[in-house]
Amino acid sequence: MIYFCQVKTKKFFANIYKKLNMKNIIVFSIFKKIVIFLILISISSCGNNESQKKEKFQYKRTKTEQSTQSKSDPSSSKKEIAIIINSDDFSMKFDKKEIIAFSGQKITLTLNHTGKLDKLVMGHNFVLLKKGVNSNEFGIKASSEKENEYIPDGGNQVIVHTKLIGGGESDTITFDAPEKGTYEFICSFPGHYMSMKGKLIIK
Ligand SMILES: [Cu+2]
């Protein structure tokens, strides 16, 4: 009788052990599947990130290309070109650093001040300097010429300039493109010449 009981108990435990083992195998295989699934997800999301990065880069590139084009229309076939330059209260910069035009073209240039500050505080102008005029020296000299809207020497060193404008104002000037070469333009309001400057390239 005791022997019979022992055999039964042994069988009972052997069965439980088998079941547990089976369970372990099932749990392990599920765990394996979950891990593989997670790895696949992380790989695919990495790919997405890269494609998103690429998309962003492409978007930036198109934006730069557009802004380069909007600097000016470099078409030499046009007799007249229109250029718009914007300035504001904070950046102390023109929104264009380079303007391209062709000798003989008639240039209509509009300077906008998109800010709100008065011209006594944050005045801007567009001053196109003659060839060979040093913009730093000109800027320093100009800063003490308030009564002449910061244009020194009666405009001797200047090809053309707009009037001084404040927030919300604009001024438009028309002039013939000078001979081929590179010309500097600045804002001659005190202190602005250091950062508010750019180049007019005549081809
Ligand atoms: Cu200015």
Query: 142 CA distance to ligand 1 centroid (A)?
Result: 12
Average pLDDT of the segment spanning 142-152: 97
Give the three-state DSSP class for 91: coil
In terms of pLDDT, which residue wins out, 45 or 140?
Answer: 140
The Cα–Cα gap between 152 and 135 comes to 12
- The mean-pLDDT minimum among 62-76, 105-119, 137-151, 169-183 falls in 62-76
Average pLDDT of the segment spanning 61-78: 50
Query: 144 CA distance to ligand 1 centroid (A)?
Result: 15
Sign for the CA dihedral angle at 143, 201, 110, 113 comes to negative
Residue-level length of the chain: 203
Query: 138 CA distance to ligand 1 centroid (A)?
Result: 14
- pLDDT > 90: what percent of the chain? 62
Protein residues with C-beta less than 5 angstroms from the ion ligand 1:
124, 187, 189, 192, 196
Over 44-61, what HEC string results? Answer: HHHHHHHHHHHHHHHHHH
Distance of CA 134 to the CA centre of its chain: 29
Q: What's the pTM value of the predicted model, to 2 decimals?
A: 0.64
* Residue for token pair 């303007």: 99
Query: 124 CA distance to ligand 1 centroid (A)?
Result: 3
